[in-house]
Amino acid sequence: MSTTAGDQSLVSSRTQQWDKLRKDDCPVCSRSGWCREKRTSDGRRLIECMHTHDSTRPGFMKTKQNRDGQECSYYWVDGAAIGVKPSPNGKPKTVERASPKTCHAAYLALSEVLGLNAQHHAALIARGLGDEAVTAGRFATLPGDRRGELALAVLKLVKNQGITPEDLLRVPGFFRRGDGMMALAGRSGLLIPVTGADGMVLGMVIRPDHPALDPAGKVLGKYQWFTSSGRGGAAAVAMAHVPPVAGRGPHEVVRLTEGALKAAVAQHKTGMPTIGLPGVGT
């Protein structure tokens, strides 16, 4: 997998917006020399990675062959918007995300409205979480139906906090359907609230009950961000998960792992504060 300097100059002259990752290693595959990046005007980075083709990685957009027949995959990285498709002029189309306070209120209400079904509850216990950790984690079940009704139930709960329908429609995962009804996006499955260091729920990750499969039958997206960027709503932002800890305070030792659910399980089993980094795969 190498290419000559001559090839590289041909590539860059064809697609002038792409810059070679010269100084840094590629944030997706950690190698240097071949992958490229594009920075959007609002400071986000789209990576064209030539080595890692992982559709389960948050920020993954697509894999395709370039004109030279080489496989390349596209990812948004660095707190970038998830699942935003660039419009023909290269700028992603998206709705401005609601404030952290609004997202937190909406996701708490969503978790309350949805509840957790017996099957998902049992699966979390089987992974090693205790009942208290399941409750504290505010895990929920996103069903396949009644999406409009459920979104309205959330609106009803957050209205008295001064949140309007327009605010709620800017929370990733909520969107307005063609018929004007508010609804919830995403595949049905387990909803995992993602909390920041301040304990605010700033995002949700879905573990679909029936993940999409590629033509070869391989699972695509075992975990997905709860986002409505594909439905004209706001995009989720990849972020680390800091599971709720009893007696929060400065901790001298924390562990890092990949994935929100893995972090919650590791923290529960060991008592050591564990942060789940985006890049969830398993």
Span near Zn ion by CB under 5 A; candidates 9-17, 51-59, 68-76, 168-176: 51-59
Q: Between residues 21 and 182, which has the closer beta carbon with respect to Zn ion? A: 21
- Minimum distance, C-beta of residue 38 to Zn ion, in the bound complex (Å): 13
Distance between CA 77 and CA 39 in Å, rounded? 10
Residue 29 near Zn ion by CB under 5 A: yes
Return the residue of 36, 37, 44, 49 that touches Zn ion, per CB under 5 A: 49
Query: Of 253, 254, 252, 224, which Cα lies nearest the Cα of 242?
Result: 254
Q: Between residues 34 and 107, which has the closer beta carbon with respect to Zn ion? A: 34
Distance between CA 175 and CA 146 in Å, rounded? 14
Span near Zn ion by CB under 5 A; candidates 4-12, 43-51, 103-111, 137-145: 43-51
Span near Zn ion by CB under 5 A; candidates 46-54, 131-139, 169-177, 250-258: 46-54
Return the residue of 20, 38, 45, 51 that touches Zn ion, per CB under 5 A: 51
Q: Is 280 exposed, middle or buried (0-12, 13-18, 19+ CB in 10 A)?
A: buried
Span near Zn ion by CB under 5 A; candidates 19-27, 63-71, 83-91, 105-113: 19-27
Residue 28 near Zn ion by CB under 5 A: yes
Query: Of 146, 89, 94, which Cα lies nearest the Cα of 115?
Result: 146
Residue 61 near Zn ion by CB under 5 A: no
Size of the site for Zn ion (CB under 5 A): 6
- Minimum distance, C-beta of residue 51 to Zn ion, in the bound complex (Å): 5
Span near Zn ion by CB under 5 A; candidates 50-58, 130-138, 152-160, 179-187: 50-58
Cβ atoms of residues 189 and 206 within 8 Å: yes
Q: Is 26 helix (H, G, I), strand (E, B) or coil?
A: coil
Residue 204 near Zn ion by CB under 5 A: no
b/e map of 127-165 (b: 16 or more CB within 10 Å)? Answer: eebeeebbebbbbbbbeeeebeebbbebbebbeeeebee
Q: Between residues 28 and 264, which has the closer beta carbon with respect to Zn ion? A: 28
Question: What are the tokens at 10?
Answer: 């041909």
Q: Is 131 helix (H, G, I), strand (E, B) or coil?
A: helix
Write out the binding residues for Zn ion, residues 66-95 only, by CB under 5 A.
Answer: none
Distance between CA 262 and CA 60 in Å, rounded? 20
Question: What are the tokens at 230?
Answer: 């594909």
Q: Between residues 71 and 131, which has the closer beta carbon with respect to Zn ion? A: 71
- Minimum distance, C-beta of residue 215 to Zn ion, in the bound complex (Å): 24
Note the residues at the interface with Zn ion (CB under 5 A): 26, 28-29, 35, 49, 51
